[in-house]
Chain A
Amino acid sequence: MTLLTINELNKKFISKNGETQALKDIEMTVERGELITIIGPSGCGKSTLLKIIAGLDTEVSGTVTIDGQEVSGPSIDKGFIFQEPRLFPWHTVEKNIAANFSLKNKEVKAEVAALIKLVKLDGFSKSYPRELSGGMAQRAAIARALLRNPKVLLLDEPFGALDAFTRTHMQDALLNIWQENKTTMLFVTHDLDEAIYLGNKVVIMNARPGSIQKVVDINLPYPRKKTDNAFQSYRQQILHEFEKTEQANQPLQAVIGGRPL
């Protein structure tokens, strides 16, 4: 069943230097329960796309619909995980997850406790963010988004700032949550391995202007192994796609003079 549809989405940034087409003719559909990873070079508009879906950026042409409703602003049914955890430093983990809901409400309290278990932060509910490691803080942020029962969880390079070991832990943690909660997720990354490891589909984006080049279905069972031959051949296939765009972009780059997008 289709959850999210993007139709003829275009986004332009207007600055002193003129117009920049950040996104061009984006068409996309996401089925309920999918985990889609979006990958592309920096400046391809993947984060912009995520912000538009979240409703944080509404100055666009084209439509984004979730469950038949057009997105017009941010709301709790679209969870968003930023690259940094962005927890409230003055609240404990528990209160951070609850945020604008009251912990005095027994239902909220029970749900928060269940989520703390789900993200494996047992025993840290009364800790302050400064006492957590980067990975733990990011898991608390995921729990905060999940408490709102979002229809879709949007993740903007959430593990980008973590070290390689923690990153692997977090990828497995996210897959675990996805399999238990069946939350639809859109995951933006610039890490090729991460994209293939997590996604049931990998959306390859292209810069100048930001557009979708190809969608690759990853038909591998979970948990995946990064060293498997099948994994590696997907890797080759996606890398090949990037090479094609680079070749196509070279003359264009010369014209623009390497102006960053």
Chain B
Amino acid sequence: MSNNSELLYGNTVVKKMSKNQKKGKPLPSKTIIFLRGMLFPVLLMAVWEAAGIYGFVSETLLPRPSEIFIAFIDLLTAGNLLYHFQVSFLRAIVGFLIGGSLGLLAGLAVGFSSKMEHTLDPTMQMLRTIPTLAVIPLFILWFGFGEVSKVLLIAKGAFFPLYVNAFLGIRSVDGKMFEVARILQFSKWKQITNLIIPSALPNILLGLRLALGAAWLALVAAELMGSSEGIGYLITDARQFSQTTVVFVGIIIFAVFGKVSDSFIRVFERRLLKWQDSFKG
């Protein structure tokens, strides 16, 4: 056969280029992407601050960002903000771990076995539609105002997103790839680790993100229903004394931490799913 294999075999690389690269522009750096993300909040805060300074809005209803910041520092140094945060964080994590892992396990079980699907899934779908807020009274009756009812409420929130997405992920494995696994004589274990889990992973990670968001939401609901510590308690307590700044501090902490935890999973996602070839905008 011919020696000039390069020509004969025509090796070409299909490098995925973003729109910017095609035009010859360099890719936006991390700082630029970060600045783009900051643009809107910073602008909003500037307008807000100015509105407060010129007296367009009431100080008690909408305190200026600088005042909120001062309140934040006060709470951090004099109050025990860190302690309250720790309490909330622990509740969220424990609830998320319990609900999330159970949801993942149930989703995998139902995904792998159609018998399990037939017996479990109808019930799950029914339970899924019950709003978290509707079960609060029941949880209080059963478990009181203590930690158990809060953690369970958070677990309930985290359970279903992972259940649904793990189930969906496993069921969307390409049947053609199963044929390949048969041809290559994969063991049952290899089939799970080399085929099913990797192809279900995008869905499972999405479920993880949604579950984390749901856990966070349930945490707020749980803490607002009555508690003596935690960020939610801080908010309800401040409301009674019309300390709007503290309410804002609480809300912002929820927002920032929610975003941080979501980004944390996104990092995993990017690392684990770097093989994906999808639209990047």
Binding site for B on A (CB under 8 A): 54, 56, 74-76, 78-80, 82, 84, 86, 88-91, 99-100, 120-121, 124, 127-133, 135-136, 139, 144, 148, 165-166, 169, 172-173, 175-176, 179, 223
In the complex the two chains form, is B10's CB within 8 Å of A135's CB?
A: yes
Q: What size tier do the contact residues of chain B reach?
A: 20 to 34
Q: Name the residue of chain A whose CB is nearest to the CB of B11.
A: A136
Residues in A neighbouring B190, C-beta threshold 8 A: 100
Question: What is the distance, in angstroms, from A137's C-beta to the closest C-beta of chain B?
Answer: 10
Known: A74-B183, A74-B185, A133-B14. A88 touches B8 (CB 8 A): no
Interface string of B41-76 (1 = CB under 8 A from A): 000000000000000000000000000000000000
In the complex the two chains form, is A74's CB within 8 Å of B14's CB?
A: no
Binding site for A on B (CB under 8 A): 1-2, 5, 8-16, 176-177, 179-180, 182-187, 190, 194-195, 198-199, 201, 274-277
In the complex the two chains form, is B177's CB within 8 Å of A86's CB?
A: yes
In the complex the two chains form, is A148's CB within 8 Å of B184's CB?
A: yes
Question: What is the distance, in angstroms, from B104's C-beta to the closest C-beta of chain A?
Answer: 19
User: Which of A56, A139, A165, A179 is the one whose CB lies under 8 Å from B183?
Assistant: A56
Known: A100-B184, A223-B1. A84 touches B275 (CB 8 A): no
Smallest CB-CB A-B distances: 8 pairs: A130-B277, A90-B198, A90-B275, A120-B9, A100-B190, A74-B182, A80-B183, A176-B1
Residues in A neighbouring B195, C-beta threshold 8 A: 88
In the complex the two chains form, is A121's CB within 8 Å of B11's CB?
A: yes
CA of A223 to CA of B2 in the docked complex: distance in angstroms? Answer: 10
CA of A136 to CA of B11 in the docked complex: distance in angstroms? Answer: 7
Question: What is the distance, in angstroms, from B243's C-beta to the closest C-beta of chain A?
Answer: 51
In the complex the two chains form, is B12's CB within 8 Å of A100's CB?
A: no
Residues in B neighbouring A136, C-beta threshold 8 A: 11-12
CA of A165 to CA of B180 in the docked complex: distance in angstroms? Answer: 27
Q: Other CB < 8 Å A-B pairs besides A91-B275, A133-B14, 14 of them?
A: A74-B183, A78-B183, A86-B179, A88-B177, A90-B198, A99-B194, A100-B194, A128-B275, A131-B15, A131-B16, A135-B10, A136-B11, A166-B10, A179-B1
Residues in A neighbouring B13, C-beta threshold 8 A: 124, 127, 131-133
CA of A144 to CA of B181 in the docked complex: distance in angstroms? Answer: 12
Residues in B neighbouring A131, C-beta threshold 8 A: 13-16
